[in-house]
Amino acid sequence: MGILAGLGFGVMAWFFLSYVLGGFYTVGPNERAVICTFGKAQRLGNATTLDSPIAASLSEDERQRYVYPQVRVVGPGFYWKLPWQTVHKASIATATVAIGFDPEFPEANSGGQILEAVTKDQLNTGLSGQLRFTVSDQNLYAFLFGVKNPVAHVMGYFISILRGKIANFEAPHRGRDEAPAQPTGEGFGDDDAPEGGIQGISINDLRKNLRDLNERMDQECASAAARYGIELDAALITGIDPPDEVDAALAAINTAHNHVSSEVSLARAAAEQRLVESKRAVEIETLNAQAEVEPLLALSAQLRELMGAGGPTAVGAYVRNAKLPLHQRARQVLLSEERKA
């Protein structure tokens, strides 16, 4: 009897320590938790991720595939659970990793520091930069139960989109009213090429348009939170480094392009200066012609007034009087036969 009582007391003590005292748990300030009862997460009625604002970035096809239930999220604090309940925690702190980071194979991609990609002109290049992501507390179900390794999954998703963008990247077209970009040591793209039709170089386009590339990546990855429960805060690609032999060839091409651009700029400046000088010469000659015409116009107006006031004889008298000073200064005057008669 004493043995049974001791055994019963031991079972009760084990149950008390394991399920009563052991049922207490805490959720840290940067953590969120989901409670599962008999293995099933506590849901918020029939609500799904399609009812959440994060689903706005999903396409119609994705809205049919990525439908997760909304679950009750436990915030920071001290709690107690029942013995048949389990707690699943997730950190919502912002994490920063290199864009080549592979959580399953950390030694890949040069230790996660350099990600290889192929450009549109079939050149291998190395990409470096950082990626910031945060676990979305609006879709914890997808993060905790949707895929086996969500971080590895979302990194693969990001890298596949990035490589696709690199392979098909085209520099944004500049409007006619915008000023051309200043020549740099990295050459120019199609829009900056002089009128000789020099083609742009994709690596140069990528280097000069990193900001645009990062913005495109943010737009393309906006649906990650609804897909996998991980929100990509920002992609910051900071370096694009081709192999040494390719980089040397690009440097030589860039030097030639910059020289051509400089010559074209000088030619345009000289042409504009000549055009301004021509316009000024035309203005000067126009003013000279006007100065010669004005006295004749004034004389014509005066003669019209004399004819209106005194008739045809008045004009003849005016002409005779105008000739008198000329006759006084002339050494010889030739008269017509009519005048002699």
> What is the distance between the alpha carbons of residues 164 and 120, in angstroms, rounded to a whole number?
10
Q: Domain locations in the chain?
A: 16-172+184-242, 245-321
pLDDT tens per residue, the chain (341 residues)?
Answer: 567 666 666 667 666 666 666 678 899 999 999 999 999 999 999 999 999 999 998 989 999 999 999 999 999 999 988 888 899 999 999 999 999 898 888 888 888 888 888 888 788 888 889 999 999 999 999 999 988 888 998 899 999 999 988 888 876 665 444 444 443 334 334 444 444 333 455 777 788 888 888 888 888 888 999 999 999 888 888 888 776 666 666 666 667 777 788 888 888 888 888 888 898 888 888 888 888 888 777 777 777 777 777 666 776 777 777 777 777 777 776 666 655 55
Q: Phi/psi at 36 (nearest 5 deg)?
A: -110, 130
What's the pLDDT score for residue 207? 80
| The two structure tokens encoding residue 18 | 């394991």
Q: pTM for the full model?
A: 0.60
> What is the distance between the alpha carbons of residues 230 and 153, in angstroms, rounded to a whole number?
10
Q: What does 250-279 look like in DSSP terms, one character per residue?
A: HHHHHHHHHHHHHHHHHHHHHHHHHHHHHH
The alpha carbon torsion through 297, 300, 301, 305 (nearest 10 deg) reads 170
What's the pLDDT score for residue 185? 37
Burial (Cβ within 10 Å: 0-12, 13-18, ≥19) of residue 106: exposed
Query: If you search the block for the tokens 């040397």, which residue do you land on?
Result: 248
- The helix (run of H) or strand (run of E) holding residue 238 is strand 230-241
> What is the distance between the alpha carbons of residues 78 and 234, in angstroms, rounded to a whole number?
33
Instruction: Please report, as a single letter, which amino acid is at residue 330.
Output: A
What's the pLDDT score for residue 250? 63
115-118 and 124-135 as β-strands: parallel, antiparallel, unpaired? antiparallel
| Region 16-172+184-242: CATH code | 3.30.479.30
Neighbouring-strand partners of residue 77: 27
Angular region, 172: left φ>0, alpha ψ -120 to 50, beta rest:
beta
What's the pLDDT score for residue 295? 78
